[in-house]
Structure 1
Amino acid sequence: MRRLLYGLIGPAGLLALLEAAPRLGLVDERFLPPASEILGTLGAELTTAALWIALGETLRGWAAGLAIAFVLAVVAGVVIGIVPGLRAATNSTVEFLRPIPSVALVPLATLLFGPSLGSTLMLVVYASFWQVLIQVLYGVAAVDSVADDTARSYGLSAWSRVRHLVWPTALPYVMTGLRLAAAVAFILAVTAELVIGSPGLGLEIQVAQSSGAVATVYALIVVAGLVGIGVNSAVRLLERRILAWHPAVRAEAVT
């Protein structure tokens, strides 16, 4: 209960600041409406079907892109990690492609797919893929060499070693990668909608900004923030459930 109360202090202080700044004339209300007006607009938006349709489009692009990136990254990471010499051969390529900002692919996505779900998926998959792949590579590399040699000496097949040795060792890293990728995927989904005009919450923000509906812009930004918090909380809950056997998760649960 105390942790919850402490957690509410920050949002309450922010709301008070946003309410006072325009009222006191510190900022122009045309550019930053009071918090009460933003919350009123938010309440009105939540009753419209357009908002929920847009939010559904954003979550669809987020979920589909994240799922595609996760599967591809896990398969690629395990293969690269367990095949001798493959990680050294692909290291330069990974290090070259990984730092490329996903937003740099916006022109390419626009040319290939236009303002559609395809553009969103392209950016989301590219950004999320590297978050998971790097963690999987670290996880596979963390496999104890003695345990691996023992498994080989007992004649375990490659699939058995992956299933019973590599995967349990790499799983905490995989879940960390999924948590990071989930946040990045949501950011890129909204960014694609804002910049390219793909259907979703970002497009609604862009339309509101173009029409001069400033309070609506802030209300939709609040929606995006709340959804981002929900996405992160859901993935963390999934992580704790899947890694309930892990000592770090048990220690966190105790504290």
Structure 2
Amino acid sequence: MKKIVTLNVKQLRTEECFGYLKLVLAETENLPEEETPSILTTSVNTYTDKFNGYDTALKASAVNPATVSVTATDAGRDDAWRGTNAYVKAMCNHPTADVASAAAEAKSLFDKYGDPTSLAQTEESGVLHNLLQDLEAFDASKRTLLNLDVWIADLKAKEEAFLAAAAERTEADAARQVGIVKETRTAAEAAYRSLVDTVNALAMINGDAAYATFIDHVNAMIERQKAISKARSTRAKKEDEFAE
């Protein structure tokens, strides 16, 4: 008698679990349509509903409202850096020698780190952190001579606004991942196991002829998934041994 073999879907990665469950959903088209036992119809409908809930949660988790704020604050700190850098550069040509000299010293701090606005967000934060430390340690009398403090304060405020937005985005991502996505995935996994148990039971009671295509196809997917998981585990083990 044909039977769907066991696959622990809990051990699959989020994307793998979703992809596998989606393939199983497509295979339900191969289940018998005529004289279908009501228990199978209910099981398929429940599985479809729970999978769709999981799908919706994953799509929602990919859209983080905080991302808009991160993008805006990132652009704000870029503009602040460009404005401050341009101001100091222009002051290097000031007609008063002391002012020009102080500006040249300040400009050397900007040149030391280069333009961070094209870097990845985390890298840019590192550069701005170091630059702001240098600027705040710059001789106070020269900062006053250049009227530089207002520019430094603006750049610092823009960087802090970005960091706050980035932290909010990270927190929101984590909350969704462990919240609604986990909840809907668990429900979909339970519905999958129920469907498998139902098909196996009906195949044993009524014979497997009507369920053979579904069973064979799902088993083939399970064997493929097991092979992928085994290969990943073997690769990870070798990497650990190499690291030792």
Same fold per superposition (TM over 0.5): no
> Which structure has the higher relative contact order (CA within 8 Å, separation 6+)?
2
Largest Rg, 1 or 2: 2
